[in-house]
């Protein structure tokens, strides 16, 4: 695995409505190359919608997203081989293809784009699985794995293409505290070893403070608070305080 | 992920004021037009992306097994009994006249009409529903979005192999149904005392009246029905929204639409064949 540097992301005035209901009402956010940005907020605040915009899965009503110096729209139009950097996403439900084995899931993109030889692909799959502590599961089907294992395979699939940007949609949703800690440690390890820019959408404020470089709070379609992760607890923003109070009630 | 690789980019549904019956009819017409537009998009996008590489062939063969080979036992049973029922019915009608023309009537009915239509229905109900459910589940589980983030075109990856497999498998199944249906008829001719002709007479009359063009028309129907069923199944799979309930709705709709379109296109193919 080569060490790569991340890509900066600049979001300006991003707007999106569904059936006339605004979900993103002008999001402004900058994510520096190689950092872990955690986006927190209540349910239905549009965190996942924001992430899907960055992944190019949604078309915004207005505003722009720039990846380094490239407009996202232009980046998406480039052929796979011509893209200056790669972007991966880890979905909330893992989104592994159930008809494919773990190895086939991880190698899918490499095989489809004919970028590597069979031997190289085999090596990459083994390395990625080793990276997420899932070595030896190559031949298993996703249905044979637990929720935490599926999540780790999804992360291995994201890592297989050596992405410069990795997006995580609620990576610890439905996982117990121990698995949550493992996934958090894995994301931190990826930052150390790969230097990829990572954006994590999370509900879990404890995890956010632990893994994040910065934390952005999304509320009513806007980023209302932006803090260094270790300064989140001292934020004076009323909505952040409300989130912290709610989290304290839980932990 | 070029923008045109999106499965189906739909604008938000218009907020319709359903004022009584007229409003409901209008909304239904709009919905039907939208589905037809999406199906046309999937059809042409699939044709445009059809590239027969070795990996595509692997997927096509897997789908061929699913659509064709796995359907053979059921197709055998259905075709056999269609042929048998047809002989019993026609023989009863011809009893007062002459049963010597039984072979031609049964043969023409099976090769030109019943074989293709029944195989079309069978594939729509069996493989079409499975495809709609499979792609629909992939859609609601974000698997299709995962493909897009991997720069894999969902139409090329999912629709193309299913389209080719079904378009190739259905004519073969039609031919199979023709043979089994005729054989089913021959069984009744041989053993039913109500039928007064011999198997030889039945087959002689059948081969005398059925020509190559009749079989080709049946095969063309199978070819077209294969395209219809696969396109409709993929369209409804790709437009699935809203969890398991959405998958159920899409699956049912895919089967119903396939049935209706098979009958509609059947008429036009027959009309065209008669003109030609």
CA B18 from centre of chain: 34
Task: Please report, for chain A, the start and end positions of each structural domain, with discontinuous segments joined by +.
Answer: 1-86+167-251, 97-161
CB of B225 closer than 8 Å to CB of B262: yes
Has residue B5 got a pLDDT over 70?
A: no
pLDDT by residue (tens digit) across A20-73? Answer: 899 999 999 999 999 999 999 988 899 999 999 999 999 999 999 999 989 999
Give the ipTM of the model, two decimals please: 0.90
Q: Which residues of A touch B146 (CB under 8 A)?
A: 89, 91, 95-97
The answer, for B1 touching chain A at a CB cutoff of 8 Å, is yes
- pLDDT reported for residue A141: 97
Rounded to the nearest angstrom, the minimum Cα separation between A47 and chain B is 16
A-chain CB neighbours of B1 within 8 Å are 56, 76
Phi, psi of B270 (to 5 degrees): -60, -45
Determine, for residues A79 and B2 on separate chains, whether the beta-carbon distance falls below 8 Å: yes
Q: For the residues A120-133, what does the mean pLDDT come to?
A: 93
Q: Which positions 78-137 of A are in contact with B (Cβ < 8 Å)?
A: 79-80, 83, 87-89, 91-93, 95-98, 108-109, 111-113
* pLDDT given at position B54: 67
A54 vs A166: CA distance, rounded Å: 10
Contact in structure between B68 and B167 (CB atoms under 8 Å): no
Give residue B1's pLDDT band: very low, low, confident or very high (50, 70, 90): very low
How many Å apart are CA A226 and CA A246, to the nearest integer?
19
Q: What separation in angstroms does the CA of B269 have from each of A174, B116, B128, B216?
A: 54, 12, 21, 12
Backbone angle region of B151, left / alpha / beta, with phi > 0 → left and psi within -120 to 50 → alpha? left
Contact B152 A161 (CB under 8 A): no
Q: How confident is the model at residue B11 (pLDDT cuts 50, 70, 90)?
A: low
Which residues neighbour B54 within 8 Å (Cβ) at sequence distance 6 or greater?
Answer: none
Predicted pLDDT of residue A250: 42
> What DSSP designation does B70 have?
G
Q: Say which residue, B242 or B143, is predicted with more confidence.
A: B143
Cα dihedral A220, A221, A224, A229, rounded to 10, equals: 110
Enter the DSSP assignment of A245: H
Consecutive H or E run containing B97: none
Q: Is the pLDDT of residue B93 over 50?
A: yes
Q: How far is the C-alpha of B29 from the C-alpha of B22, rounded, in Å?
A: 11
How many CB atoms are closer than 10 A to CB B174?
28
Contact check, Cβ <8 Å, A91/B146: yes
Six-digit token string for B193: 């005392």
Q: Do B1 and A79 touch (CB under 8 A)?
A: no
How far is the alpha carbon of A28 from chain B, nearest alpha carbon, in Å?
Answer: 23
Distance CA B11, CA A130 (A): 43
Q: Write down the CATH superfamily of domain A1-86+167-251.
A: P-loop containing nucleotide triphosphate hydrolases (3.40.50.300)
**Measured between CA atoms, how close is B12 to chain A, in angstroms?**
6
Angle of helix B212-238 relative to helix B20-49, nearest 10 degrees? 110
CB-neighbour burial class of residue A114 (10 A; exposed 0-12, middle 13-18, buried 19+): exposed
Contact A103, A111 (CB under 8 A): no
- Which of A130-144, B90-104, B211-225 shows the lowest mean pLDDT across its residues? B90-104
Q: How far B9 CA sits from the closest chain A CA (Å)?
A: 9
Question: How far is CA A168 from each of CA A180, A248, B102, B198, rounded to the nearest angstrom?
Answer: 13, 24, 68, 73
Mutation target among A19, A48, A53, A57 for the B interface, most CBs of B within 10 A: A57
pLDDT score of B248 more than 80: yes
Q: Indicate whether B7 pLDDT > 70.
A: no
> How far does A110 lie from chain B, in Å, by closest CA?
9
B141 three-class SS: coil
Residue B72 · residue B176 · CB < 8 Å: yes
- Write out pLDDT tens, residues B252-262: 999 999 999 99
B16 pLDDT higher than 90: no
**Mean pLDDT of all residues in chain B?**
90
Provide the number of CB pairs (under 8 Å) joining chain A to chain B.
61
Q: Round to whole Å and give the CA distance between A159 and B267.
A: 53
Report the residue of chain A nearest B54, measured CA to CA: A112
Query: How close are the terminal C-alpha atoms of chain B, in Å?
Result: 45
**Mean pLDDT taken over chain A:** 91
**Is A98 close to B15, i.e. CB distance below 8 A?**
no
The confidence score (pLDDT) of residue B267 equals 95
Q: Residues B6-10: what's their mean pLDDT?
A: 49
Chain B residue closest to A109 (CA)?
B150
- Chain B contact present for A173, CB below 8 A: no
Q: Phi/psi zone of residue B220: left (φ > 0), alpha (ψ -120 to 50 degrees), beta?
A: alpha
């Amino acid at each position: 695995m080569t060490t790569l540097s991340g890509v900066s992301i600049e979001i300006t005035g991003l707007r999106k409505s569904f059936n006339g209901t605004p979900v993103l009402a002008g999001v402004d956010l900058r994510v520096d190359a190689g950092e872990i940005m955690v986006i927190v907020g209540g349910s239905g605040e549009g965190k996942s919608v924001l992430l899907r915009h960055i992944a190019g899965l949604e078309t915004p009503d207005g505003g722009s997203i720039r990846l380094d110096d490239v407009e996202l729209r232009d980046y998406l139009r480039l052929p796979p081989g011509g893209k200056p950097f790669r972007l991966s996403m880890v979905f909330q439900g893992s989104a592994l293809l159930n008809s494919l084995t773990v190895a086939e899931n991880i190698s899918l993109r490499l095989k489809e784009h004919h970028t590597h030889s069979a031997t190289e692909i085999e090596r990459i799959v083994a390395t990625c699985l080793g990276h997420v502590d899932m070595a030896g599961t190559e031949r298993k089907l996703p249905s044979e794995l637990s929720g935490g294992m599926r999540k780790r395979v999804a992360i291995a699939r994201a890592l297989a293409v050596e992405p410069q940007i990795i997006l995580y949609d609620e990576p610890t949703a439905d996982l117990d505290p121990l698995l949550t800690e493992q996934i958090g440690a894995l994301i931190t390890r990826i930052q150390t070893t790969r230097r990829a820019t990572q954006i994590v959408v999370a509900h879990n404020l404890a995890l956010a403070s632990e893994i994040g470089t910065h934390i952005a709070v999304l509320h009513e379609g806007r980023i209302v608070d932006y803090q260094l992760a270790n300064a989140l607890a001292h934020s004076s923003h009323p909505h952040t305080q409300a989130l912290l109070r709610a989290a304290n009630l839980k932990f | 992920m070029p923008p045109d690789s999106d499965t189906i980019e739909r604008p938000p549904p218009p907020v319709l004021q359903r004022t009584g019956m007229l409003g409901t009819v209008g909304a239904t017409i709009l919905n039907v037009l939208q589905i037809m537009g999406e199906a046309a998009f999937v059809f042409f996008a699939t044709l445009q992306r059809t590239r027969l590489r070795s990996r595509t062939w692997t997927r096509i063969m897997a789908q061929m097994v699913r659509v064709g080979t796995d359907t053979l036992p059921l197709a055998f049973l259905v075709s056999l009994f269609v042929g048998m029922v047809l002989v019993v019915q026609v023989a009863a009608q011809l009893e007062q006249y002459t049963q010597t023309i039984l072979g031609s009537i049964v043969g023409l009915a099976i090769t030109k009409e019943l074989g293709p239509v029944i195989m079309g229905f069978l594939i729509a109900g069996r493989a079409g529903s499975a495809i709609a459910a499979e792609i629909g589940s992939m859609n609601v589980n974000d698997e299709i979005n995962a493909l897009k983030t991997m720069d894999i075109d969902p139409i090329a990856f999912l629709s193309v192999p299913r389209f080719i497999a079904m378009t190739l498998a259905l004519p073969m199944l039609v031919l199979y149904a023709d043979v089994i249906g005729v054989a089913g008829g021959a069984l009744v001719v041989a053993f039913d005392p109500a039928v007064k002709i011999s198997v030889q007479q039945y087959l002689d009359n059948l081969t005398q009246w059925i020509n190559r063009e009749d079989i080709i028309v049946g095969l063309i129907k199978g070819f077209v029905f294969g395209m219809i069923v696969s396109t409709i199944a993929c369209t409804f799979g790709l437009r699935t929204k809203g969890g398991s309930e959405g998958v159920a709705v899409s699956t049912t709709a895919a089967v119903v639409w396939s049935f209706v379109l098979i009958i509609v296109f059947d008429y036009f193919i027959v009309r065209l064949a008669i003109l030609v």
